[in-house]
């Protein structure tokens, strides 16, 4: 008889001594036996009728972790375990919910899902659960795979950059860009300046393709007509312009809910635009070349901080209007934008051609709102003032040129 047997017998006999014979006959013994063996402490159960019971249930080590040897399913992406689930069925359910999140919840109004593709190879592997850990619930695993980690990268400001252009180039929302760079003054960006960009990174890359259908405005055109009877008078609007409407269809590609490409597939005109017709006297351009009053002031500020003329032995080629950064800058007369971008010491610059060899320029801008080749109307806001380029403070440097020669702008501006 081994140690276990004798110990069981001892326990039962001691128990029986306290019972009378009637109770003894009916007795069903149940106890827990502590057994020492092989350097470990074990718990066991005994049960039975009469003086000798029998061991029931497996021997269990009290030092053994409950999940030792437990098998779980690992979701493996590009050779990396990204989540542990109790079984393969739940693991596959997690991936389906992640796909649903990026295909349905990330779709915008007017979008219809065309297709989706999991760009990474996904495997389900049975593995041992590491000691001291527990598998994820479906809810927690989905949350982990749909909420990105944040990767920080550095972007250097390039010629022609402004804060909105950088946001577009890096696919970073303006609010995120500003929040990632505390103290950043958008109007004072310098070439080579380092900006901190926070980019989301996901364990799984899901590409979705949508068809987007939305209504858009069709901008009206402006047509100029000559009327000799107007002579020197101001232009007269003969017909107000009105935007039209069109239905535009785009093919939109997203990676994990972020748009990476959008291509126009076609348009249907719902309502044609109405052309704006402006009548002008035939002496308009002659007046622009020499007479005052045909050009409007480019800013609401009439504070001249530096006039046209010689300064420190050099020609100051225009007039400086003192104004806060971000002040609206308007086209001084109707014309076509010939240049819009970075121009060295001028900073951000716009050149507008008014015909007849007459041009105006707008310099040190913080933001450019028009593009080269675009038609602009007198008084139309084309930019925001700033301090880009070589400047000692916020202002608009405004120039007028005829035949490539600088003129005093004050001879062209109305009172």
Nearest to 189 by CA among 369, 325, 370: 325
Same fold, 149-201 and 287-411: no
**Residue found under tokens 């809910």:** 257
Using the CB atoms, write b or e for 39-63: b if 16+ within 10 Å.
Answer: eeebebbbebeeeebebeeeeeeee
pLDDT score at 366: 92
Are the beta carbons of 357 and 402 closer than 8 angstroms?
Answer: yes
- In the prediction, which pLDDT does 318 show? 94
User: Which class for 155: exposed (0-12), middle (13-18), buried (19 or more C-beta within 10 A)?
Assistant: middle
Domain ranges of the chain: 3-61, 71-108+119-146, 149-201, 206-280, 287-411
Count Cβ neighbours within 10 Å for each residue of 367-400 and write b for 16 or more, e otherwise.
Answer: bbbbeeeeebbbeeebbbbbbbbebeebbbbbbb
Contacts of 98 (CB under 8 A, 6+ apart): 142, 145, 146, 204, 206
Which CATH class name applies to 206-280? Answer: mainly beta
- Say if CB 351 and CB 359 are below 8 A apart: yes
pLDDT of residue 13: 56
What local confidence, expressed as pLDDT, does residue 26 receive? 44
204 close to 98: Cβ distance less than 8 angstroms: yes
pLDDT score at 259: 82
186-220 residue pLDDT tens: 767 888 999 998 878 889 999 999 999 999 999 88
What is the model's pLDDT at position 68? Answer: 61
Written out in words, the top-level CATH class of the domain with range 287-411 is mainly beta
> According to the model, what pLDDT value does residue 312 have?
76
CATH of domain 149-201: 3.10.350.10
| Structure confidence at residue 275 (pLDDT) | 92
So what's the pLDDT on residue 311? 79
Which residues, given as ranges, of the chain have pLDDT below 70? 1-69, 187, 230-234, 281-293, 414-415
């Amino acid at each position: 008889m081994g140690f276990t047997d004798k110990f069981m017998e001892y326990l039962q006999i001691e128990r029986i001594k306290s019972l009378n014979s009637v109770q003894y006959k009916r007795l069903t013994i149940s106890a827990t036996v502590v057994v020492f063996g092989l350097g470990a402490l074990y718990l066991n159960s005994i049960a039975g009728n009469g003086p000798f019971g029998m061991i029931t249930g497996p021997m269990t080590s009290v030092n053994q972790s409950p999940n030792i040897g437990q098998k779980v399913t690992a979701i493996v992406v590009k050779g990396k375990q990204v989540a542990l689930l109790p079984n393969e069925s739940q693991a596959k359910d997690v991936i389906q919910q992640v796909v649903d999140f990026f295909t349905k919840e990330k779709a915008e109004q007017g979008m219809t899902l065309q297709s989706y593709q999991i760009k990474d190879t996904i495997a389900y592997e049975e593995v041992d659960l590491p000691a001291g850990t527990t598998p994820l619930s479906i809810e927690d695993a989905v949350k982990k795979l749909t909420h990105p980690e944040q990767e920080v990268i550095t972007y250097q400001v390039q010629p022609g950059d402004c804060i909105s252009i950088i946001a577009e180039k890096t696919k970073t929302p303006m609010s995120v860009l500003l929040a990632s760079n505390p103290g950043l003054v958008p109007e004072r960006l310098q070439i080579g300046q380092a900006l901190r960009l926070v980019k989301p990174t996901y364990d799984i890359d899901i590409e979705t393709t949508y068809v987007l259908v939305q209504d858009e405005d069709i901008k009206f055109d402006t047509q100029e007509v000559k009327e000799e009877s107007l002579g020197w008078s101001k232009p007269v609007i003969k017909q107000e312009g009105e935007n039209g409407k069109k239905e535009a269809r785009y093919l939109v590609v997203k990676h994990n809910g972020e748009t990476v490409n959008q291509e126009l597939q076609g348009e249907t005109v719902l309502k044609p635009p109405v052309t704006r017709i402006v009548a002008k006297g035939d002496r308009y351009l002659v007046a622009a070349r020499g007479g005052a009053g045909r050009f409007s002031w480019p800013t609401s500020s009439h504070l001249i901080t530096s006039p046209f003329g010689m300064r420190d032995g050099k020609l100051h080629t225009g007039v400086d209007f003192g104004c806060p950064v971000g002040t609206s800058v308007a086209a001084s007369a109707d014309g076509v934008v010939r240049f819009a971008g970075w121009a060295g010491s001028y900073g951000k610059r716009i050149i507008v051609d008014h015909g007849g060899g007459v041009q105006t320029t707008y310099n040190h801008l913080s933001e450019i709102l028009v593009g080269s080749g675009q038609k602009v109307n007198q008084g139309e806001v084309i930019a925001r003032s700033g301090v880009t380029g070589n400047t000692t403070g916020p202002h608009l440097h405004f120039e007028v040129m005829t035949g490539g020669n600088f003129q005093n702008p004050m001879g062209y501006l109305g009172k």
